[in-house]
Amino acid sequence: DEIRDRVVLGEFGVRNVHTTDFPGNYPGYEDAWDQRRFEEVFRVDIIREEEDALEFDMVGIDAAIANAFRRILLAEVPTMAVEKVFVYNNTSIVQDEILAHRLGLIPIRADPRLFEYRNQGDEEGTEIDTLQFQLKIKCSRNHQAAKESSDPNELYFNHKVYSKHMTWMPLGNQTDLFPDADFRPVHDDILIALLRPGQEIDVLMHCVKGIGKDHAKFSPVATASYRLLPDITLLQPVEDEAAEKLQKCFSPGVIEIQNIKGKKVARVANARLDTFSREVFRHEGLKNLVRLARVRNHYIFSVESTGILPSDVLVSEAIKILMGKCQRFLNELDSVPME
């Protein structure tokens, strides 16, 4: 059972890393995939939910499915981002192409589900596939500033160009289509450029719908990762000085020390917090007292949104995309004659 259920971390390697979701892997076990058994075991537990961050457990799946969710979150959930930048005037020290690149990486708070993909080759955007933003700002000198001042914040007006200076310019009938919309950058304090008196930036931007595998600026997540649930077992009692030394080998909160009959005794408090640095294997007196493992089919997912869409929406969209892929595959199987 340990071979099938645990990935064991040793001092010089990792054991039991191969999949078990395959018939005939282990004598006496029926490991072929079965839908009824899968439905009984599979579950999703929400651990922590914030506005732009989500941590949840997905239990009872294979590594291939877990990695499919991760890759879809990174590369296939669509967002809106700046694709074309029309430069009318740019006298700042930032070159046009660098300025366009910086603008493209600013996350835009706009629900991509409200828009269509722009057809390849279309030069002009329409209200159903494009969001238009304008950035027009000029730096000027503050004549009321003290003569001895050297602080640019006192000497100049508009010398810092922020994402908050980007304003939405509705196309066509977008004001009617989105009467309550608030299309804008996710963060107002993203620094785009620095100006000095006489310098100005006047650009028009077209935001379109895209996916991360075409360009990283369309990726809706800052991070999307998973790890297996840690499992730490003390093979025999660890007491007094050894207990204190053992506690220091793990992340804070993993090992706690209890006072039992006047002795300090170590116990595993919360293995989930551990990062598995394997520091314990550096101590000869401790390395044989602990077994480090990971639960093979228990995945801890961490999803951090860029703010375009909430993290829980991103996960549900990733699930829909995976379901669509499966359905297309089944349709292809049905359409191809079997010999």
CB 315 within 8 A of CB 230: no
Which CATH number characterizes residue 123's domain? 2.170.120.12
CA-based torsion, 151, 154, 156, 157: positive or negative: positive
The structure tokens listed for 259 are 């006072």
Beta bridge partners of 166: none
Q: Residue 7 falls within a domain, yes or no?
A: yes
pLDDT of residue 287: 87
Q: Residue 173 falls within a domain, yes or no?
A: yes
pLDDT by position in tens, the chain (length 339): 677 788 888 888 888 777 666 666 677 777 777 888 888 889 999 999 988 999 999 998 888 889 999 999 999 999 999 999 999 999 999 999 999 999 999 999 999 999 999 988 777 888 999 999 999 999 999 988 888 888 899 999 999 999 999 999 999 899 999 988 889 999 999 999 999 999 999 999 999 999 999 999 999 999 999 999 999 999 998 888 899 999 999 999 999 998 888 888 999 999 999 988 888 999 888 889 999 999 988 999 999 999 999 999 999 999 999 999 999 999 988 887 766
Q: Is residue 47 domain-shared with residue 166, that is, in the same domain?
A: no
Q: Residue 113 falls within a domain, yes or no?
A: yes
Buried/exposed code over 116-141 (b: 16+ C-beta within 10 A; e: otherwise):
eebeeeeeebebebbbbbbbebebee
Q: Residue 174 falls within a domain, yes or no?
A: yes
Q: Is residue 67 domain-shared with residue 115, that is, in the same domain?
A: no
Q: Is residue 177 domain-shared with residue 293, that is, in the same domain?
A: no
Q: Which residue, chain included where needed, has tokens 């310019």?
A: 169
Structural domain boundaries, residue 213: 79-219
**What are the backbone angles phi and psi of residue 316, rounded to the nearest 5°?**
-65, -35
Q: Where are the alpha helices (DSSP H) in 86-138?
A: 96-104
Q: Residue 188 falls within a domain, yes or no?
A: yes
pLDDT of residue 89: 96
Which CATH number characterizes residue 4's domain? 3.30.1360.10
Other CB atoms within a 10 A radius of the CB of residue 325 amount to: 13
pLDDT of residue 240: 87
Q: Is residue 15 domain-shared with residue 92, that is, in the same domain?
A: no
Q: By C-alpha distance, which of 88, 90, 80, 218 is closest to 161?
A: 90
CA-based torsion, 213, 219, 220, 226: positive or negative: positive
Q: Is residue 103 domain-shared with residue 212, that is, in the same domain?
A: yes
Beta bridge partners of 290: 234
Alpha-carbon gap, residue 204 to 207, rounded angstroms: 10
Whole-angstrom CA distances from 152 to 55, 141, 145 are 43, 10, 10
Q: Residue 247 falls within a domain, yes or no?
A: no
Q: Is residue 100 domain-shared with residue 178, that is, in the same domain?
A: yes
Q: Is residue 156 domain-shared with residue 200, that is, in the same domain?
A: yes
Q: Residue 264 falls within a domain, yes or no?
A: no
Alpha-carbon gap, residue 5 to 23, rounded angstroms: 15
What residue type is 63 in one-letter code? Answer: A
pLDDT of residue 199: 95
Q: Is residue 2 domain-shared with residue 108, that is, in the same domain?
A: no
CB 276 within 8 A of CB 230: yes
Cα 246 to its chain centre, rounded Å, is 33
What residue type is 52 in one-letter code? Answer: D
What residue type is 250 in one-letter code? Answer: F
CB 225 within 8 A of CB 304: no
Q: Residue 325 falls within a domain, yes or no?
A: no
**What are the backbone angles phi and psi of residue 328, rounded to the nearest 5°?**
-65, -40
pLDDT of residue 313: 93
Q: Is residue 142 domain-shared with residue 194, that is, in the same domain?
A: yes
**What are the backbone angles phi and psi of residue 43, rounded to the nearest 5°?**
-160, 160
Q: Which residue, chain included where needed, has tokens 């991103």?
A: 314
Helix pair angle (311-335, 63-75), 10° resolution: 110
What is the DSSP-derived secondary structure letter of residue 114? G
Cα 170 to its chain centre, rounded Å, is 30
Q: Where are the alpha helices (DSSP H) in 59-95?
A: 63-75
Whole-angstrom CA distances from 26 to 1, 19, 30, 63 are 10, 11, 8, 18
